[in-house]
Amino acid sequence: MDSKHWTTHVEFLVLLITLLGGFYLLDGKIERQGERTDRLYEIYVTTQKDIFELRADFNQKFYDLLAKDLK
């Protein structure tokens, strides 16, 4: 009866270590995913800024062309 009591504690300890290790690994993966998401957002913002600048440039060229044709 005494050996069964001892093995129960070992099983509980192994299960606890496994669960804590799993949560630790998941936390690390979530952190890395957050870093990737932040980098993707930075790329998106830069791209949107570039597109806005191109559109402003095209609009200015279009307005200059219209002004030239109206004269």
Q: What is the pLDDT of residues 20-43, one digit of tens each?
A: 999 999 998 988 888 888 888 999
Structure token pair of residue 39: 């980098």
Distance between CA 13 and CA 7 in Å, rounded?
A: 10
Distance between CA 44 and CA 51 in Å, rounded?
A: 10
Q: Show the DSSP H helices in the chain as ranges.
A: 2-70
Residue of 23, 3, 5 lying closest to 15 (CA atoms): 23
pLDDT at 1 over 60: no
Q: What is the pLDDT of residue 34?
A: 81
Q: What is the pLDDT of residue 49?
A: 96
Grade residue 59 by pLDDT with cuts at 50, 70 and 90.
very high
pTM: 0.52
Distance between CA 66 and CA 53 in Å, rounded?
A: 20
